[in-house]
Amino acid sequence: MGKKILNSKILYVLLSIVVSVGLWLYVTATDTTPHTQTIHNIPVNFTGVGILENRGLMLVGERYYAQVTVQATNRVLATLTNRTVQVTADVSGIAEEGTHTLSYAVTLPAGVDQSHVTIVSGVNGNVLDVEVARFISREIEIRGEFNGTVAEGYLAGDDEDFMFSPDHIVISGRQELVNQVEYARVTVGGDSLTESVSGEYGYDLIDPSGDILSTSDLLRDVDTVHTFFPIQATAEIPLAVSFTDGGGVSAETATAKLSVDSIRVAGTTEAVEAVKAAGTISLATIDLAAVSDGEELTYPVPLADELTNITGVDKVKVKVSFNKQLVEQTFDVTNITCINVPEGWTADVITQMLSVTVRGSAAQVEALTVDSFRAVADLQSLTPAAGQYTATVYVYLDSVPSAAEVGVLAGDYRIAVNLVEAGE
């Protein structure tokens, strides 16, 4: 019995709610009395923005909102919200920066008869104030900053070593904001790096004081830039020279003293490992027939394109010394011949004597005579044509054990020859 009573009470409550709602709907539907309602936060749509931009102007602020006061029946008011009502303002008539008051049009949602709604709006009517500023675009330099660390034996590049693609960015917006930007900064980091950094990175806009600027009111043509920053391997590499026997001196009896014994290089891991495997950087191969005891020579430091000399020493002085007593003597050589004379031609030697200097131990030099020498001119490179020519001469010593014992000093030995066609 009690359960039936309880069920009856619930039924009565439900019926009461249904009846109340029905009565409310009836009253609302039949109520023709106009009521006033203000609709807040309606986004304003602007037309003529392209014309404004062509004049070098822009609206300040990301979004404008309006509120509209309307009069209508409750039934109509129920359909009017800040999502169904639209507000539109035309900015094409604005020709200068500053604050401007614009009229706006109110568009009701589809299905609502305009005659059933009275637009009351604000005390000043259907108007709103907008702020217009000068609009400019400008190219901005990109700079890099490295805030990381490198592993032992590696070297980070300098700020000037950053490479960017694109190499600049374009920012646009209010003139006073754009002019506050000094440059764009890309920051690269990482711990114990052993490889160069390469990838897409964002950037900050920096003012003349070095502070980061807010970019919310500025347009940018790109959001990221491809950034490369070098991380190079390094190594200390010895410098060396080598000798070729000649002029009475062997490589074993000559020494070289270098003004710098080694340099530190930087480059790719592969390039540094290759030069380390070679053991030394060779400055030159010195022909001992072309130098004197105590002579000082200067050589550049040769490096592969993949390597950089971070020591900064690009030239090295080399002092050559001999470890034995030597004498020099000059001989007038008359045994002069020609080889590789062009076919069909004869070569008459005009030069009859050459002064040739030799060097070696006193005993070996004293044992030489003019018959010990043979001067040979190779005419292979001559163009067959009648006339007089000069030719380089190679001087040989046929009666000595080796050029490391006694030898001809290097020199510009040349003779004159007259080329005549055979049979003339």
Per-residue pLDDT of the chain (424 residues; tens, 9 = 90+): 455 545 567 766 677 776 665 555 555 555 678 899 999 999 999 999 999 988 989 888 778 999 999 999 999 999 999 999 999 999 999 999 899 999 999 999 998 988 888 888 765 678 889 999 888 899 999 999 999 999 999 999 999 999 999 999 999 888 888 999 999 999 999 999 999 999 999 999 999 999 999 877 788 999 999 999 999 999 999 999 999 999 999 999 999 999 999 999 999 999 999 999 999 999 999 999 999 999 999 999 999 999 999 999 999 999 999 999 999 999 999 999 999 999 999 999 999 999 999 999 999 999 999 999 999 999 998 888 999 999 999 999 988 888 888 999 999 999 999 999 887 6
Give CA–CA dist 80/100, Å, rounded. Answer: 28
CA distances from 51 to 54, 57, 98, 218, 220 (A): 5, 9, 17, 20, 21
Superfamily per CATH, domain 136-229: YbbR-like domain (2.170.120.40)
The answer to whether the beta carbons of residues 336 and 356 sit under 8 Å apart is no
The answer to whether the beta carbons of residues 350 and 415 sit under 8 Å apart is yes
Instruction: Give the DSSP H/E element, type plus range, for residue 103.
Output: strand 98-107
C-alpha 316 chain-centroid distance = 31
| Residue 399, pLDDT score | 80
Question: How many contiguous H segments (helices) and E segments (strands) does the chain have?
Answer: 6, 30
CA distances from 396 to 3, 238, 272, 286, 337 (A): 138, 37, 44, 20, 12
| Residue 218, pLDDT score | 86
Of 398, 423, 416, 418, which Cα lies nearest the Cα of 408? 398
Class level of CATH domain 327-421: mainly beta
For the entire predicted model, the pTM comes to 0.61
| Residue 28, pLDDT score | 54
| Residue 104, pLDDT score | 92
Structural Rg of the chain based on CA atoms = 48
The domain made up of 236-322 has a fold known as: RNA Polymerase Alpha Subunit; Chain A, domain 2 (2.170.120)
The greatest distance separating any two alpha carbons of the chain, rounded to the nearest whole angstrom, comes to 156
Q: How far apart are the first and last CA of the chain?
A: 156
**Can you give the residue ranges of every domain in the chain?**
1-28, 31-125, 136-229, 236-322, 327-421
| Residue 217, pLDDT score | 77
Please give the structure tokens belonging to residue 229.
């920053």
Q: How many CA atoms are closer than 13 Å to the CA of 202, on its beta-carbon side?
A: 4
| Residue 13, pLDDT score | 66
Pairing status of strand 387-397 against strand 373-378? antiparallel
Rounded to 5 degrees, φ, ψ at 116 are: -90, 0
Class level of CATH domain 31-125: mainly beta
| Residue 92, pLDDT score | 94
Name every residue whose Cβ is closer than 8 Å to that of residue 99 and which is 6 or more positions away in sequence: 129, 130, 131, 132
Of 311, 312, 290, 314, which Cα lies nearest the Cα of 301? 314
Give CA–CA dist 106/125, Å, rounded. Answer: 12
The length of the chain in residues reads 424
CA-CA-CA-CA dihedral for 24, 27, 29, 31, to nearest 10: -140
CA distances from 57 to 27, 51, 88, 188 (A): 53, 9, 19, 36
| Residue 373, pLDDT score | 94
Domain 236-322 and domain 327-421 have a common topology: yes
